[in-house]
Chains A and B, each alone.
Chain A
């Protein structure tokens, strides 16, 4: 990958893609969300899409703050409703490329219904779901992605609920592009984001990210760097893997890669087809 280049000193090459008046951001040291945002900014630059026709919507939570740091038309909406909000934008103005950047609790728990329905309709949007296995902003509660037997503040004896497998959920709901990377796979993540940005339809990229403050502290996994080292040793790239096999347990092997890449008419394709049919009558 060619990094973004600018030669002026003291100006980060991504500064023009970010709201620099808001940096430093709120994320803790060792958190992977910042890395996901960097990869996203690099992916935006790499995809060479029209940034004025691109907008980003976030829900609430740690990852929900992303919209506030990216210099696009950006919306920070209510808990879980980012996809619903983005659906409105996309359908009202199909020329826009909408990106939903939010967390696992936001998108899969409270926004789970919107997630599966947007995937079913194949709304043209890119969903980047940062999965840190926990509700971090509220202090480390069980999320729908928390692996079995993992400790959290609301599961002091270990989580008793089986977690969602996000790629499988997206795949079975009808997403056209599904990938999973960790915060360590920055280049592949960047390439994946650039690729998905150009793909019409509902694309989902799951980014597994270390939560140094809650997930790893409650479970005694060290700091953010230790979690990154864990990803380094325990991830395996398997492109095209059946999404059924992508469950993540507590400190088990994580399979990453691009799992789904298919074609399906988007909601607006079908809608316009219906509309043009009506006009002929």
Chain B
């Protein structure tokens, strides 16, 4: 693919998370967006349209989120890198086609700008309540790569990463943004186009009648072709064989779905990224991601000033979950503190992976929004004084009081 210089706005900019996402998408080569307007994701569409003419990108506003993701999957098969943006209620709508994207093994990127929930919740406030839905929301077994940026700069970087993962593994990739990251304006440094690493789509090159859309390479990832190249392939959302023909047998279910899961599970070491600070001598490790990063890092500083040995583990990739890292840390540390803007999602994963070797203290940001450094500090103190080896999650009771 030719590099479109206009697509990469090299330089330093002040961008919101939503805007940085679009710049990241253009830099990664995305040229198709289908979306349905929803707060707080709407600025992405506006930014996209502002730049689409000069970049040469196509947009269509679909009638709902279900069709938006369907259109994105269809568009991806024409060879265009495609994406959609949405927020909580729309993300629920997309679950149907998240499954289709996994089954058709179609590269695409979904951005979920999380808001509060369930149902309509508060569309103008941040939330992290969709983390489990991203992993388990669609029916059947699937693996999905989920990135969680915490700032506009990360939004830009992770978007490129997301497109690269989606092309490399032929799978939908979800970016779990949230209202806070989406609207926060910060400095974003966009590198030169030749400095951005882009994974190109892996095409099948061979005889036209020999193409099998689901014939796997050694790494379990099949090669793609575009519609209109004359391969006359068939793909289906039903359990299928290498040819893409539906076969209603348990053996085929195993043959088909097992590699879809294992192409990602085998490569978790390469996919998972996290930022680990000061965990070597730490007694307490704070595990956080996305919008809670600000409060968490402030709390870490305050706790360190108090003389508590606190380390931090920021999850860049939430799914696949860094099980091994948590297990390894659980053997060394006394407790984990997990702040989240929900009522307990990733914390249960942390508790699972610690196998009872460390306490897990959960700080819910339910009532205080994202900025409750004090609660996190108090939770760190609580974790320090709690008896060791206590199974189950200890929920920190906020001092500000719950209704």
- Is B300 interfacial (CB-CB < 8 Å)? no
Interface size on A, residues (CB 8 A): 38
- Residues of A with C-beta under 8 A to B58: 91-92, 271
Residues of chain B contacted by A67 (CB below 8 angstroms): 234, 236
Structural contact, B71 and A91, CB atoms closer than 8 A? yes
Return chain B residues, CB-CB under 8 Å to A137: none
CA distance A21 to B212 in the complex (A): 14
Q: Which residues of A contact B70 (CB under 8 A)?
A: 77-78, 81, 84-85, 87-88
Q: Choose from B67, B75, B246 the contact partner of A89 (Cβ within 8 Å).
A: B75
Contact B62 A78 (CB under 8 A): no
The one of B66, B73, B233 in contact with A73, judged by C-beta atoms closer than 8 angstroms, is: B233
Q: Contact: B63 with A89, CB < 8 Å?
A: no
Cα–Cα, bound, A186→B187 (Å): 65
**Chain B at the A interface: mostly helix, strand, loop or mixed?**
mixed
B51 to chain A, nearest CB (A): 11
Known A-B contacts A68-B245, A84-B66, A88-B82; A76 and B60 likewise in contact (beta carbons under 8 Å): no
The verdict on B229 contacting chain A, using a C-beta distance below 8 Å, is yes
The verdict on A220 contacting chain B, using a C-beta distance below 8 Å, is no
- A75 proximal to B (CB < 8 A): yes
* B232 A71 Cβ-Cβ under 8 A: yes
Asked if B335 lies at the interface with its beta carbon under 8 angstroms from chain A, I say no
| B315 interfacial by beta-carbon distance below 8 Å | no
Give bound CA distance, A229 to B29, whole Å: 57
Shortest distance between the CB of B320 and any CB in chain A (Å): 25
Which listed residue, A72, A77, A87, touches B62 by the CB 8 Å rule? A87
Tell me whether B227 is interfacial, beta carbon within 8 Å: yes
Contact B63 A113 (CB under 8 A): yes
Residue B161 is within 8 A (CB to CB) of chain A in the complex: no
For window 66-83 of B, CB contacts with A under 8 Å fall at 66-68, 70-80, 82
Task: Please determine whether B234 and A19 come into contact, CB atoms closer than 8 angstroms.
Answer: yes
Chain A, residue nearest B53 (CB): A278
Q: Does B117 contact A (CB under 8 A)?
A: no
B78 touching A96, Cβ below 8 Å: yes
Q: How long is the Cα–Cα vector from A92 to B63 in the complex, in angstroms? A: 17
Of the candidate stretches A3-11, A39-47, A51-59, the one touching chain B is A51-59
Contact A84 B246 (CB under 8 A): no
> Is B34 in contact with chain A by the CB < 8 A criterion?
yes
Residues of A within 8 A of B140 (CB): none
Contact assessment for A81 and B67 in the assembled complex, using a CB-CB cutoff below 8 Å: yes
In the complex, per-residue mask of A136-167: 1 if CB is within 8 Å of any chain B CB, else 0? 00000000000000000000000000000000
**A88 interface neighbour in B64, B72, B234, B246, Cβ under 8 Å:** B72
| B261 within 8 A of partner (CB) | no
Complex contact A55–B71 (CB within 8 A): no
B39 close to chain A: CB less than 8 A: no
Known A-B contacts A88-B73, A93-B80; A52 and B229 likewise in contact (beta carbons under 8 Å)? yes
Is residue A194 contacting chain B, with contact meaning CB distance below 8 A? no
A22 at the interface (CB under 8 A from B): yes
Residues in A neighbouring B73, C-beta threshold 8 A = 85, 88
- Interface membership of B231, Cβ < 8 A: yes
In Å, the complex CA distance between A19 and B238 comes to 17
How far in angstroms is the closest Cβ of chain B from A166?
19
Across-interface contacts of A278 in B (CB, < 8 A): 53
A279 at the interface (CB under 8 A from B): yes
> In the assembled complex, which residues on chain B have CB atoms less than 8 Å from the CB atom of A53?
228
A76-B238 contact in complex given A22-B245, A52-B228, A92-B82, C-beta closer than 8 Å: yes
Min CB distance A274 to B, Å, is 9
A185 at the interface (CB under 8 A from B): no
Across the interface, do B60 and A91 meet the contact criterion of CB distance under 8 Å? Answer: yes
A78 touches B237 (CB 8 A): yes
A89-B66 contact given A52-B228, A279-B53, CB 8 Å threshold: no
Given contacts A73-B232, A74-B234, A93-B227, contact A85 B71 (CB under 8 A): yes
| Inter-subunit contact A89/B97 (CB<8 Å) | no
A269 to B54, CA, bound (A): 18
**Is B34 touching A88 in the complex (CB atoms < 8 A)?**
yes
A83 to chain B, nearest CB (A): 8
A residues less than 8 Å from B60 (CB atoms): 87-88, 91, 267
Query: For residue B234, which residues in chain A have a CB less than 8 angstroms away from its CB?
Result: 19, 67-68, 74-76
Q: Is A275 an interface residue (CB 8 A)?
A: yes
- Asked if B11 CB lies within 8 Å of chain A CBs, one says no
From A52, which residue of chain B is reached at the shortest CB distance?
Answer: B230
- Cβ–Cβ < 8 Å partners of B52 in chain A: 275
- B38 close to A (CB within 8 Å): no
Alpha-carbon distance A95/B227, docked complex (angstroms) = 10
Does B273 lie at the interface of the complex (its beta carbon under 8 Å from any beta carbon of A)? no
CA A138 to CA B77, docked complex, whole Å: 30
Question: In the complex, which residues 214-241 of chain B have their Cβ closer than 8 Å to any Cβ of chain A?
Answer: 227-238
* B64, A113: Cβ atoms closer than 8 Å: yes
A16 to chain B, nearest CB (A): 10
Known: A52-B228, A87-B71. A78 touches B97 (CB 8 A): yes
In the bound complex, how far is the Cα of B76 from the Cα of A192, in angstroms? 31
Interface residues of B in 59-107 (CB under 8 A from A): 60, 62-64, 66-68, 70-80, 82, 96-97, 100, 104
CB<8 Å pairs between A and B, sample of 23: A22-B245, A55-B227, A55-B228, A73-B232, A77-B237, A78-B96, A78-B100, A84-B71, A87-B34, A87-B60, A87-B74, A88-B34, A88-B70, A88-B76, A91-B34, A92-B32, A92-B58, A92-B82, A113-B63, A117-B62, A117-B63, A267-B60, A271-B58
Besides the contacts A81-B66, A88-B34, what 19 more A-B pairs have beta carbons closer than 8 Å? A68-B246, A73-B232, A84-B63, A87-B67, A88-B72, A88-B74, A89-B77, A89-B78, A91-B32, A91-B60, A92-B31, A92-B58, A92-B75, A93-B79, A96-B227, A113-B63, A114-B63, A117-B63, A271-B58
Question: A residues bordering B, Cβ < 8 Å?
Answer: 19, 21-22, 52-53, 55, 57, 67-68, 71-78, 81, 83-89, 91-93, 95-96, 113-114, 117, 267, 271, 275, 278-279
In the complex, the 9 A-B pairs of residues with the closest C-beta atoms, listed nearest first = A88-B71, A88-B74, A84-B67, A92-B75, A76-B236, A84-B70, A93-B78, A52-B230, A88-B75
